[in-house]
Amino acid sequence: MTEPLVLVEKLDHVARIQLNRPHVLNALNMQLIRQLVEVLEECDQDEQIRVMIITGNEKAFAAGADIKEMVDASPVDLMVKRYLSDWLRIRQISKPLIAAVSGFALGGGCELAMCCDLIIASESARFGQPEINIGVMPGAGGTQRLTRAVGKVKAMEMILTGKSITAQEALDYGLVNRVVPVEDLDKEALALAQEIASKPPLAVRLAKQSILKALDLSLEDGLHFEQNNFCMLFATEDQREGMQAFVEKRKPTFRGR
């Protein structure tokens, strides 16, 4: 039997999803991305799960799209196979995604981390968009998400030189949330996931949606979008529970309803 390309472990309200092609530094072939997206979509539907963690291994989160799969491709092949279309499905996931990154997060690996809502890096993490060195450029969101994350001049430097940055530089640039010792990565990612999982899931979901809209909309439209989501939460049981618990000076219990 062939090994699954992603391994899934569900711990209470958190799903830990591990990329599993270690012999090629988790190079992201189409099959792996398809399996990852299917697992994410399944977790998004699973009422038990509130947060998903995507991780790799100590040597690599992922060293990019699978170059061997692309080396002989023509533009028509890429279009016919809808080569990058599964990547767009990650954007539709409504629950928070945390990337827990050790080792290489290059090319599509860096782009996958940036598809996530929060990034925890270990001290060994290296982020970069080296596609320029193999005759192409980022194709799974790198020019867009890296620029939004670190600003134009740093994105230009990283993408045009192909040089990677350390975890500490990624922290200084605002690309990652925090840097932790390698041995603590799993524990820290899980603690963050559990903290978010303890919050009211529908409020978390609409807050995520609203923050992502801030990157797309004008301030005027974004403020309207936020107001609508805020008002909508007053239709939830968790709003009543959260505010009632505050008034009664007790801890709320959120059910995601």
Catalytic residue (one of 131, 155, 167, 189) = 131
Judged by CB, which is closer to ligand CAA: 78, or 80? 78
Minimal distance in Å, beta carbon 142 to ligand CAA?
6
Q: By C-beta, is 66 or 117 nearer to ligand CAA?
A: 66
Asked about 64 being catalytic, the answer comes back as no
Select from 179, 174, 182 the least CA-distant residue to 56. 182
Q: State in angstroms the smallest separation of the CB of 59 from ligand CAA.
A: 7
In the complex with ligand CAA, the residue whose CB is nearer, 104 or 254, is 104
Token pair in block for residue 47: 């009422």
Strand partners, 15: 10, 52
Tell me how far apart the alpha carbons of residues 199 and 50 are, in angstroms, rounded to a whole number: 9
β-strands 126-128, 165-166 pairing: antiparallel
Q: How far is the CB of 245 from ligand CAA (least distance, A)?
A: 46
Catalytic residue among 60, 65, 99, 155: 65
Q: What is the DSSP letter of 52?
A: E
Has 58 been annotated as catalytic?
no
Sheet holding 118-122, edge to edge: 6-11, 14-19, 51-55, 97-101, 118-122, 178-180
Minimum CB distance to ligand CAA smaller for 67 or for 245: 67
In angstroms, give the least distance from the CB of 169 to ligand CAA: 17
- Interface residues with ligand CAA (CB under 6 A)? 24-25, 27, 63-68, 104, 106-108, 111, 130-131, 134, 138-140, 142
The four Cα atoms 25, 125, 36, 89 give a dihedral, to 10 degrees, of -130
Q: Is-catalytic flag, 63? A: no
Q: Just list the catalytic residues.
A: 65, 108, 111, 131
